[in-house]
Amino acid sequence: MNMKHPIVRFLVVCITYTIVVATGSVGLEQTFAASGTTLTVEASQTGAHISPTLYGLMFEDISHSGDGGLYAELIRNRTFKDDPSTPVGWSVVTSSGAQGTISLDNSHAINNLALTTSLQLQIEQVDKGQRVGVANEGYWGIPVRPDTTYQVSFDALASTDFAGPLTVDIENIDGSIIYARSMINTISPNWAHYTLKLQTSAQVKPSITNRLVISAGSTGTIWLNLVSLFPPTWNARSNGMRMDLMQKMDAMHPSFLRFPGGNYLEGNTFEDRFQWKNTIGGLEQRPGHNNSAWGYRSSDGLGLLEYLEWCEDLKMMPILAVYAGYALHGSHVPVRTSQFDSLVQDALDEVQYITGDTTTYWGQRRASNGHPKPFDLQYVEIGNEDFFDRSGSYEDRFAAFYDALKKAYPRIQVISTVKVRSRTPDVIDEHYYKSPEESARLATLYDSYSRNGPKIFVGEYASQEGKPTPNLNSALGDAAMMTGMERNSDVVMGACYAPLFVNVNAPAWGTNLIGYDALNSYGSPSYYVQQLFSLYHGDVVLPTSLSGGNGQLYFVTSKLTKSGTIYIKVVNTSPDAQDTQIKINGATSIDATGKATVLTSASVKDTNSLNDPTKVVPVAHVLSSLSSSFTYSFAPNSVTVLQLTERNT
Ligand code: AHR
């Protein structure tokens, strides 16, 4: 055995430790004492109170996080607006010898808002037993799972010479396997809405290389619009969210959701901004918009009410970002213009839509959209990363939004995206995208922040190593930085990793927390760091000091006052185990039994992926023979949470 290898050495120390502690031998104590590293926790003193909103989520539709991601719709380009010249995502399907064509058609609009363009399927020749149809490829495939009911809906009209029926199936990519099939016997010569269910059998194996096909066996012309296919969704919400991704977020116990961006809020141009009023009501009312910041069109099926219901489902507080007049290409809407005033009014209306009761205009609109109960809203952010606005216009833009919001909603806490002088924001949003090493250096950043100024919201951060999702090294950098945020949570009211999601087929950003394709998803090592930090903390920080060590241990300790549980989080960014004496001062007694949860792997380059989703995951161990002074060896390249219980009786 190579005793110099850090992992081997760590394992040997662990084994020795278990035996020695169990027998009460002093031999190991002497070994640790020689390393001279001591972590001292002051259990009877209190540091910062930890914000109950410290750990949350940030979401924007980037890398198909919404369409083709969390938003469970499986049909790409369901209203045919992705490209005005071609039906992107759609193709014609013909049996050998049959003939048909598809094209975009703007002469059969259903309304003049969202459903202006339809897909025209012309079936020119089809013999008995043959078919001609249209296929949708989904977002890099259509997920098939056993024993699953899919909801299909579409608007259709047929030429009078079309005899029907219309067949709808989910099939594999060459049509040789039909997983689920249903039929509509007659299609009206006027636009009508059709719904049906598709059911897979218990025997089918999960697969992704599939398509939805709508076809017929008789000649004529059919027009289609708003073609939709939903798998089961979280909480069985219609127009809802993808189950596995919701489950992954739920497992993080997030306290808030910052939305809808990010650059997505702003767009490259004024026209491409997130316009919340276009994202509410029936899908036929939502025109969608060009998500120019991230290079694709958004359906806006994931709209304002869906964001709020997502908050409701996961018990998160919304942190709403409102568009504040800056477009990413560098232009801004000047204050004291009617165009700017209407943006401020839009923000006020949006807050009323969220919080107003049904006696208010927008509260009533929310009720008519299906949610009479108002939502609680405590934080509104004005814009996003306005330090990019070189004109200096943010001072005045922020002031106008701040004044209007404070006047109408005095309780709302207003967040600025950069330091401003014209007003004192309640909170400032800071963003950090750094190398893992630079992130670790930020662990002490907030130790010296003023306690008299605005609070800090770390609205985006992530160590940038690993694509499309971070490796262990990034997770260590994140964790080290997070010890500083938690220790200073009297200043840092909230923090959220960004970006949250990436469809691995279309990454528009390097390093993202959770990866997926149409069928499967996985959490990166940084995901597990987020989860560990969010799940394991108390309500007060316990002052903790370190002596000795090699300068690569980052730590924070907290206590849950009502239970006496003490959480000692230690990040070891070095390739060597760190043998450490842990002293708990001021505790009457410490339970003999505790828990250590450790995230580590053989190499800092190790990561998770669709093919190997659990290579780097936390592992929990029972600790025994604990007392107010014990020894622990922190594994090389690891994040460890030690969980102890203080007894005061
Ligand atoms: O998280 C990705 C992008 O990074 C966000 O959209 C933007 O706010 C930041 O520059």
Q: What is the pLDDT of residue 164?
A: 84
Considering the domain architecture, whether residues 121 and 212 belong to the same structural domain is answered as: yes
- What is the layout of strands, in order, in the sheet containing 256-259? 57-58, 256-259, 317-322, 379-382, 413-416, 427-434, 455-463, 492-495
The model carries a pTM of 0.94
Considering the domain architecture, whether residues 469 and 581 belong to the same structural domain is answered as: yes
From the CB of 509, is ligand 1 less than 6 Å away?
A: yes
Q: What is the pLDDT of residue 647?
A: 84
Q: How many CA atoms lie within 13 A of 558 on its CB side?
A: 27
Considering the domain architecture, whether residues 367 and 221 belong to the same structural domain is answered as: no
Packed helices 27-35 and 6-23: angle between N→C axes, nearest 10 degrees: 140
Q: What is the pLDDT of residue 264?
A: 98
Q: What is the pLDDT of residue 33?
A: 40
Q: What is the pLDDT of residue 648?
A: 72
Q: What is the pLDDT of residue 111?
A: 97
- Go through the chain and tell me how many residues it has: 649
From the CB of 498, is ligand 1 less than 6 Å away?
A: yes
Assigned domain for 606 exists: yes
Asked if 239 and 300 touch (Cβ cutoff 8 Å), the reply is no
Considering the domain architecture, whether residues 439 and 565 belong to the same structural domain is answered as: yes
Calculate the CA 271 to chain-centre distance.
25
Give dist(CA 90, CA 104) in Å, integer.
11
User: Which residues of the chain carry a pLDDT beneath 50?
Assistant: 1-34
Q: Which of 60, 309, 381, 385 is catalytic?
A: 385
412 alpha carbon to ligand 1 midpoint, in Å? Answer: 24
Q: What is the pLDDT of residue 17?
A: 29
Give dist(CA 588, CA 24) in Å, integer.
21
From the CB of 262, is ligand 1 less than 6 Å away?
A: yes
Assigned domain for 64 exists: yes
Q: What is the CATH number of the domain that holds 190?
A: 2.60.120.260
Residue of 57, 59, 60 best suited for mutating to test ligand 1, as the one with most atoms within 8 Å of CB? 60
272 alpha carbon to ligand 1 midpoint, in Å? Answer: 16
Q: What is the pLDDT of residue 35?
A: 63
Q: What is the pLDDT of residue 550?
A: 87
Integer angstrom CA distances of residue 526 from 86, 286, 478: 40, 35, 7
Q: What is the CATH number of the domain that holds 367?
A: 3.20.20.80
- How many domains, in total, are found in the chain? 3
Considering the domain architecture, whether residues 269 and 412 belong to the same structural domain is answered as: yes
Residue of 458, 500, 509 best suited for mutating to test ligand 1, as the one with most atoms within 8 Å of CB? 509
Active site (annotated) includes residue 385:
yes
491 alpha carbon to ligand 1 midpoint, in Å? Answer: 23
Give dist(CA 44, CA 588) in Å, integer.
9
Give dist(CA 136, CA 89) in Å, integer.
6
From the CB of 416, is ligand 1 less than 6 Å away?
A: no
Q: What is the CATH number of the domain that holds 607?
A: 2.60.40.1180
Considering the domain architecture, whether residues 268 and 406 belong to the same structural domain is answered as: yes
Considering the domain architecture, whether residues 476 and 605 belong to the same structural domain is answered as: yes
Its domain, for residue 481, covers 35-48+426-493+521-649
Assigned domain for 597 exists: yes
Considering the domain architecture, whether residues 222 and 240 belong to the same structural domain is answered as: no
